[in-house]
Amino acid sequence: MELNFTGTDICAINGTRSAPETHYDIVVVGAGPSGVAAAIDAAKAGAKVLLVDENPVSGALMGNDIPLYFGGRMTAATQNTERMLEAIFMSMPALETAMDAGVELLLGTTAWGVYRNGPGVASLPQQVVGLADSERSYLVGFDKIVLATGARDLAMSFPGWNQPGVMGAAALQMLLTRYEAFAGQRILVLGSHDLALETALLAQARGIDVVGLIEVRDAPQGNAELVAKVAAAGIAIHCGQTITSATGGINGIESATLSTGDVIACDTICVAIGLIPSIELVDAMHGPRALNATRGGYIPAGEPSVTAVGDCAGLADSGFDHVAYRMDWMRALSDISADDTIICQCEEVTRADLIGVQPPNYLSRPAPMCARSLDTLLQDGPANPDQIKRLTRAGMGVCQGRRCRDQVAMLLAIEADKPFGSIPLASHRAPVRPLPLKILAEWDEPAEMDAAWDVWFGIPTQWVPVEDINTPYQDEHRQMLYTGMYT
């Protein structure tokens, strides 16, 4: 049927979007060394540059392991925003250099989404990045965007890992070097590649008692010089072993049990098996990505208006196969994990729930659901993590999958007997950081957008049949029907 309309449909979204508050030649997301350097170079070349960084994040976000895997090992100092800001400037003098070069700097500001016209979106006035601080959310236009979002911690599940005191290496390094706000005193490190070795040496240099490193492979995996430094520091590397459980009390971790049966007293278990390039914004804007095992996993594949720098673009390539190493750890931990081992902490999804493709215990499980399993899904084709997420809720919690997304993909690959790259990661969607609705909401909505709310969402007349809603659009629509203007 051919439809002939005259005039303008007031319910169309075209032309109703809010204009961005301002526009920059270049927006740099992430004020680490790579991001600051990119911002300074652009400003010196005459560009109007905005540099944003989410740090210092609130204590509440840190408590939910955002953006890094803090594991509840922060001191109360992280609740003091002014102190945290001062610590950032004290530890990163290059920020002042950037400001002197003309870069506009926003700290404590999250870049939660990037939007461009394309399939499914054709009404934006220009490409924009969504920003939010503790007070509000707004849009900023840009010509080019530089992602310097770094890398995040890879979490690994084992019995007892869902207690305070199990944390990531990047989070530990940030608490030790940037904020001086680490609450632990005695740590056990998982892994023996460069990340683990450097973390152990840093912790010891900061006065932390490092009780050892655990390595599933038969020999240390890192740089020989770093291995020698760790040995010279008197830190033992236990090879050919894994952690089988962690026990704790009211304050979290108190000890770890190894596959040999040895029990090691500690208040912190640092998971230093690997870092993951932070590509959430790339994913949310539907940008291309590629799996690169020697650069840390999935990395941006490149686009004309998007540049990735630093660890976001991929870890330094030393030839080490990070993916194979992580899979060895995942298999070892899977072998010792019971069915009730938690995989997704936020939603309390167990290993049995994930493999059985069942919802968590707080939801009902009708008979058809109970008959479902990963085996039945695999009969229809390869496992899809987004489908698994919807069916099990693994990855739907407030941490937005940061603790479980990668290990879910690894577990699915193991259970399906497929290479890791054949099972994609669950997708990231904006907002890539949890934001309160009161901040995310657009309170100053344009009148054009507000004009047809009753038709779009049935508010306030949501129980009135659409044909009885008296709006100019509906009146015109009915008139066209009655007069035969539809052909």
Which of 278-306 are b and which e, b meaning 16 or more Cβ less than 10 Å from the residue's Cβ?
bbbbbbbbebebebbbbbbbbbbeeeeeb
Residue 276: name the closest of 202, 195, 175 by CA: 195
Can you give the pLDDT at residue 484?
45
d(CA 227, CA 97): 36
Task: Calculate the CA 355 to chain-centre distance.
Answer: 23
pTM, full prediction = 0.88
Q: Which two tokens stand for residue 457?
A: 């969402």
- Non-local CB neighbours of 251 within 8 Å, separated by 6+ positions: 164, 165, 267
Can you give the pLDDT at residue 482?
43
Q: Are 313 and 299 in contact (CB under 8 A)?
A: yes
Residue that has been written with the tokens 């010891």 in this structure: 204
Query: Which residues on adjacent β-strands are paired with residue 74?
Result: 182
Quickly count: other Cβ atoms within 10 Å of residue 210's Cβ: 24
Can you give the pLDDT at residue 116?
87
d(CA 402, CA 81): 24
Can you give the pLDDT at residue 286?
85
d(CA 363, CA 139): 37
Q: What are phi and psi of 213, to 5 degrees?
A: -120, 145
Helix 224-232, helix 194-205: angle, nearest 10: 30
Q: Which two tokens stand for residue 376?
A: 């039945």
Q: Are 259 and 214 in contact (CB under 8 A)?
A: no
Can you give the pLDDT at residue 478?
47
Q: Give 413-419's long-range contacts (Cβ < 8 A, gap of 24+).
A: 413/327, 414/327, 414/330, 414/331, 414/334, 415/355, 415/374, 415/383, 416/374, 416/378, 416/382, 416/383, 418/382
Can you give the pLDDT at residue 471?
54
Residue 191: name the closest of 164, 219, 163 by CA: 219
Residue 333: name the closest of 170, 215, 211 by CA: 215
Q: What are phi and psi of 455, to 5 degrees?
A: -80, -40
Split the chain (487 residues) into runs of 10 and give each run's mean pLDDT.
52 67 95 96 97 93 94 93 91 94 96 86 85 92 96 96 96 95 96 98 97 98 97 97 95 96 97 96 89 94 87 95 97 94 94 90 79 81 84 90 92 90 84 88 71 58 57 50 43
Can you give the pLDDT at residue 469?
56
Can you give the pLDDT at residue 67?
94
